Amino acid sequence: MLSEHVAEPPYNYEHFTRQVLWVDGAKTIDGYGIPAGEPAPDFELPDTDGNLIRLSDQRGRPVVLHFGSYS
Spatial neighbors of 27 by CB under 8 A, at least 6 apart, are: 33
Give this prediction's pTM.
0.48
Strand partners, 46: 52
List, for residues 10-39, the tens digit of each pLDDT value: 666 666 678 878 888 898 888 888 888 888
List, for residues 46-56, the tens digit of each pLDDT value: 888 999 999 99
> Rounded CA gap, 32 and 52, in Å?
28
Are the beta carbons of 55 and 40 closer than 8 angstroms?
Answer: yes
Beta strands per DSSP E along 1-71: 44-46, 52-54
